[in-house]
Structure 1
C-alpha cells in the first residue's frame, strides 16, 4: 500500500468522489494531462497534517509537483473567476 492509499483509504475516497467536481472537458481537446484526484487529495491531506508547504511535498507525489499550484486551484476552487459552472463567462443568461 502506497502513501496515497494510506492517506486516502478506499472508504474516504468513496465519500470524496461524491462531492469532487466533475472534470471539465475542453471542447478543443488537448491540454495537460490531468493529475489523479486521489493523489491530489492525498497531497492536500499530507500538507495539512505535516505542516510542510506545497512545494516541500516529498518526491513520492511526483507529477503533482510539476503543476502544483494550478492543479490544487482547479481541485479546490473550481472554474476560473468570471466563469460559471458551464465554463462560460458570467452567470446563466448572460446578465450580471
Structure 2
C-alpha cells in the first residue's frame, strides 16, 4: 500500500532483522540503512516520532470541544471545526501563559 501512494514506512524493524529480502525488499533496505548509520539517525531522517504531537493535540481538542459536529452543510461544518480549533488554541495559550 505504501508503494502505491509513494510513501515510506517508518516502523522500526526488530533489532535482529534480516537484511535479505524475505518478503519485503523495502523492509530489507531500511534494515541495511539502519546498519550503515544508526537507528537514531534513521529515525531523524524519516521523521519518526512526530505523529504523537498531532495525536496529543487532537486528543485534547476532542476532550475539550467534544467529538460531535452539529452542522449539516459542508461550509458550516468547516466553519464549526475552525471555530472549535481557534477556541481550543486560545484556551491552550491561556493555560500556558506564565
Normalising by structure 2, we get a TM-score of 0.26
The structure with the greater share of residues assigned to helix is: 2
Q: Which has the larger radius of gyration?
A: 2
- Return the structure number with greater relative CO, CA threshold 8 A, min gap 6: 1
